[in-house]
Structures are given as structure tokens and as C-alpha cells.
Amino acid sequence: MFAFAIERRDERARAAQLATPHGVVETPAFMPVGTAGAVKAVTFSQLGEIGAQILLANTYHLLLRPGDEIVARMGGLHGFTGWRGPFLTDSGGYQVFSLAGLRTLDEEGVLFRSHLDGSPHRLTPERAMQIQMNLGADLVMAFDECLPLPAPAEAVAAACDRTTRWARRCRAEHRRADQWLLGIVQGGTDLALRERSARELLELEFPGYAIGGLAVGEPKPDREQVLAHLDPILPEAKPRYLMGVGTPEDLLAAVGHGIDLFDCVLPTRNARNGQLFTSRGRLSIRNARYKEDQRPPDPDCGCPTCRTASRAYLRHLHLANEMTAATLLTIHNLFHYLDMFRRMRQSILLGRFKEFREGALHSLSAASGVESQE
């Protein structure tokens, strides 16, 4: 049911195919974030039209509503949602970071107070596995402790070691052959801790590995160092997933370090706030200069939004709080990301990734800042 095959390497960048029970993912690939089993403001048919291959959903949020047992009775995420492609589920480890004010952590796991109604919910490595087995995603994640950065060295070391202990418990609890369980490398920006975390997880022989605990406050040069350090340590023949990163510049850099899978809320969240990613820099559709602008958001973009809607119309919809605005803007931003990954993959297959990356970074640098393309 599963296979991972590298088609071509271009320096450290890889183009590969990841076969899952619900389809093949051509990597490097970006996963739109569908936290509660849906990507906000867009339908599955729209996601398919713009080239989404695999979606991410979240254990913690689906536990709260509708509940993992309901999802299981409905045929898992695929039967419940109708999405026919692969799913990946996060374990809830990110909420250890993002909901720090609503949780209590100990060696056994985490007690969350629901952000919806304050009700208590206990997540342990075993419970995270049970929920994800109920959800039935193709790729599932070990439960980890994610810290904000910077953090005291002793706290980073403790979280790193606890993540390894929890990974062992996840490995022992997980029992579905139609899922791949990925371990998560932690350790902050401490390269020795990162290496120790990776090597201890390698002993557990996960079918793939994620790099967590980045894009949580650390300087970008430190993130680059971590990725470069882990690149020769992580197995070449297994998929690699960088969690929660990030901007187009971040993604271009990470692909160059041999990362295969990515997710980030940035394109969808920014779209709902009226911020668009374009080939000429970022664009805030709220700006008064677009009140009578008949141009598409990005003249070089082939997405359904740019083919049909003007900046003036999108600005009107957004300022009027029309639901259609979120849909059209989200479609554009996701297309921008997915198209960038399609072009990155093609450049690797042609042996031209360095040229592609340098050209893309030059364009982004020349158009740095919101609306600098004007």
C-alpha cells in the first residue's frame, strides 16, 4: 500500500513519488491545512482543480468536534469528508505550543481545556494514536512536545527527550498497517540535541520522519542550520516532512535541504485577511489604490481567480465581508503555493533546481514588502 521512490536528486533537492492507500503524492508537495477536515472557504472539487494532492487535518480539533469515534463510524476521514486523496493528521503536539495557556503537561501526556467550552481532554501518546487510527489518515504523526523559541536550554533538552520517550509509546500503540506513522525530530536550534533526537528516532525505524519545533520564533538562519545539519542524518530512502513552514522563501530553502512534504496555514489565513501572494510580491487587496483596478491580482497567474476577477471586484467583496471573497482569495493563494511546488519539482527533474531557486528568490527580493510590485 505504501512506497517512497526518489525519481531524481538535484544536489540535495529530491523529486519523488509517495504512494499511499488513497493515491500517489508527487513530491516535493505542499499540504493545504484542513484542520477540522475541511480547508476553510474552499471545496474539495476546487482543491482538486488547483492541484492539491494531500490534505492535513488535526487530531486535537477533530477530537473536540465531531469526535473521533463518530468519524470512525462514518468511514474515517475519507468516508466522513468525501475527500478521496491522501490525508495526513497532526497528533495534537502543535497544540502543546499554540494552546499553552489551556493545558497542563506531565510525563504521561497533556490535559487540555477545550478552547470551545473549557471541557477537559487528556491526550497521551497512546490516546493520540487511538484517535488517529479512528480518523484513518494515510500518514499519522507521533505525539510530541513542541516548545516556543527561544527557550531555556534545559527546557529544550527536556522536551526533546520527552518527545523521544513518547515516540516509543506511539510506536508500541500504533497498529494500523494501512497507515504510516512518522516520528518527529525535536531539539530546538541546538544541533547536538537535534542530532540526538534524530538518531534515537532512527532506532525505532519509522517509515518517515518529520522535523518539528521550527517556525515557532527562531531566527531563520538558525532554522537553516538545523535543516542543513539533519539533511545527512535522516535516511535518504524515507520521506521527510517539515512541519508548519512557511513563506515561499522558507519553502524554497527547505526543498534545497531534501525536504519532501510541507504544510502551513499562511496561504489560507492570509487570504481571509485580504493578503495575496503573487509573483511580484505580496498584495493587500484592502488598499484603496485597487478601488477601480481592472487587473487580476497577478497577471502571471493562471488560477481561476486571476482568470475571472479584478482587483477592484475582490476588494469590494472583501470589504463587504462577502463569503465569496474568502473563497476567491484562498483559491489564488493556494494555487500560488501549489504551482510553485509543481515548478520546483519540474526543475529538479530537469536538473535545474538551483537555477529555479535563485530566480525565484531574486524575484521575491526585488519585490520585497507588501505591494512593492506597484
Residue 95's SS3 state is helix
**Across 179-196, average pLDDT:** 98
Provide the pairing of β-strand 120-123 with 110-113.
antiparallel
For residue 123, CA distances in Å to 106, 114, 144, 354, 372 come to: 11, 12, 11, 43, 45
pLDDT digits (tens, 9 = 90+) for 78-107: 999 999 999 999 999 999 889 999 999 999
Provide the pairing of β-strand 87-90 with 120-123.
unpaired
Q: Is the pTM of this model over 0.75?
A: yes
Report residue 373's pLDDT band, with 50, 70 and 90 as the boundaries.
very low
Provide the pairing of β-strand 275-278 with 281-284.
antiparallel
**What was the pLDDT predicted at 364?**
83
Catalytic one of 138, 144, 260, 263: 263
Grid cell at residue 308: 475571472
The residues of the chain that CATH labels 3.20.20.105 are: 27-264
pLDDT digits (tens, 9 = 90+) for 127-172: 999 999 999 999 999 999 999 999 999 999 999 999 999 999 999 9
The CATH architecture assigned to 27-264 reads: Alpha-Beta Barrel (3.20)
Report residue 362's pLDDT band, with 50, 70 and 90 as the boundaries.
confident
Residue 207's SS3 state is coil
Rounded to 5 degrees, what angle do the CA atoms 7, 11, 15 make?
A: 25
Taken in order 35, 37, 42, 47, is the CA torsion positive or negative?
A: positive
**What does the alpha-carbon distance between residue 301 and residue 304 come to, in Å, rounded to a whole number?**
9
On the question of pLDDT at 371 being above 60, the answer is: no
Residue 217 CB: number of other CB atoms within 10 A?
11
Percent of the chain with pLDDT strictly greater than 70: 98
**Across 187-206, average pLDDT:** 98
**Across 351-357, average pLDDT:** 97
Grid cell at residue 3: 512506497
Percent of the chain with pLDDT strictly greater than 90: 94
Averaged confidence pLDDT in the chain: 96
**What was the pLDDT predicted at 262?**
98
**What was the pLDDT predicted at 372?**
46
Residue 216 · residue 146 · CB < 8 Å: yes
**What does the alpha-carbon distance between residue 294 and residue 312 come to, in Å, rounded to a whole number?**
6
**What was the pLDDT predicted at 354?**
97
Report residue 38's pLDDT band, with 50, 70 and 90 as the boundaries.
very high
Report residue 369's pLDDT band, with 50, 70 and 90 as the boundaries.
low
Catalytic one of 90, 138, 250, 260: 90
pLDDT digits (tens, 9 = 90+) for 313-327: 999 999 999 999 999
On the question of pLDDT at 180 being above 70, the answer is: yes
**What does the alpha-carbon distance between residue 231 and residue 228 come to, in Å, rounded to a whole number?**
5
- Annotated active-site residue 90? The verdict is yes
**What does the alpha-carbon distance between residue 292 and residue 286 come to, in Å, rounded to a whole number?**
12
- Annotated active-site residue 298? The verdict is no
Report residue 366's pLDDT band, with 50, 70 and 90 as the boundaries.
confident
Grid cell at residue 31: 499540504
**What was the pLDDT predicted at 280?**
85
